[in-house]
Each structure stands twice: as structure tokens, then as C-alpha cells.
Amino acid sequence: MSLSLTVDDIMDKQFLTFSADTSIPDAIQTLHTRKYFGACVVDKTGKVLGTLSEKACIQFYEDALHGRLDRPLDDIKVTEALSPDFLTISKSLGVVQAAEILLQHPIRRLAVVESGRLIGQITCRDIVKAVQRIGQI
């Protein structure tokens, strides 16, 4: 298998992010509307804070529906529902290495950062599509 492709060659540069002050219901609506399975949360400087956790969101909805929240769900921000499983990589990393990281962890998305800022992301699908397209990575 070729080892020539880097993350930079196939990463998604037109990706969805949430600002830190996005509410959980707004984020969930956006994910559904735009047909995304997840997205990174970034601060005002573009620094990535993490990815939104579906599990944490389910817990907040459950609590809201059963009156267990001390404030409206609309007041709860995405920064309170970040996934503990979150990894960043550099764009120069080989795609094979990125794939191995994805296979070793319970995640399907890696954030690509440069000088602390989020510049892209790569998912299992991006890699699978690249393999389909060119037959190797």
C-alpha cells in the first residue's frame, strides 16, 4: 500500500464547527439539518475545544424532559457536552497513520490543527472515499 498520501491531501477543509456559545438544541438541529454526524467546537480564536458528544446530549435531553435540569436546555452550551475522546493531528501526518489512530480509538473524526488552530478534519469516511477513488492510500 502506498504511504505517500498525507492528511492534507484528503482532509475536509469546508467543515462544520460550533462556537463555544452554541446551545445544545441549536447544535443538534444544525447537525440534523446539514446531515452531519458530529462537529468540532472552537473558541473565538479558532482553537479547538473538542467534539460534541451525542451521549452527553442524550443525557441533557433526558434530564430536560424529566424536569431534572436547573435551567432551560437552551442555556446549556456545547462546551458542557464535549466528548472525552478527542484527538488532534497535524496535516503532514500520513493517511495510513491517521487511519490507524481512528481504528485504535472509539472516534471517527480527527481534528487537524496548525499553530493551535483548527484547519481541517478527517473522518473514517474521508479515508474510505479516498481509497475508493484511487485504490490505495
Partner 1 sequence: MPDKHTVADFMDRTFVQLKPEMKLSEALDILVKEQLIAALVVDSQSRPIGILSEKDCLKEVLHGGYNQRPLGTVRDYMHEAPKAVPSSMLTSELSQLFLNSDHRRFPVMDSGRLVGQITRRDLLRGYTKLMLKQDKSSIRK
| Contact residues: partner 1, CB under 8 A | 1, 25, 28-29, 31-32, 35, 37, 54-55, 57-59, 61-62, 64-67, 72-74, 96, 99-100, 102-103, 106, 108, 124-125, 127-129, 131-132, 135-137
Asked whether the beta carbons of 64 and 89 are under 8 A apart, the reply is no
Smallest separation, CB 85 to partner 1 (Å): 10
Asked whether the beta carbons of 7 and 98 are under 8 A apart, the reply is yes
**All cell numbers assigned to 33:** 439539518
**All cell numbers assigned to 67:** 424536569
Comparing CB distances to partner 1, the nearer of 25 and 46 is 25
Smallest separation, CB 35 to partner 1 (Å): 6
In the three-class reduction of DSSP (H, G, I as helix; E, B as strand; rest coil), residue 96 is classed as helix
In the three-class reduction of DSSP (H, G, I as helix; E, B as strand; rest coil), residue 76 is classed as coil
Neighbours of 90 (CB within 10 A): 12
Smallest separation, CB 117 to partner 1 (Å): 27
Comparing CB distances to partner 1, the nearer of 17 and 30 is 30
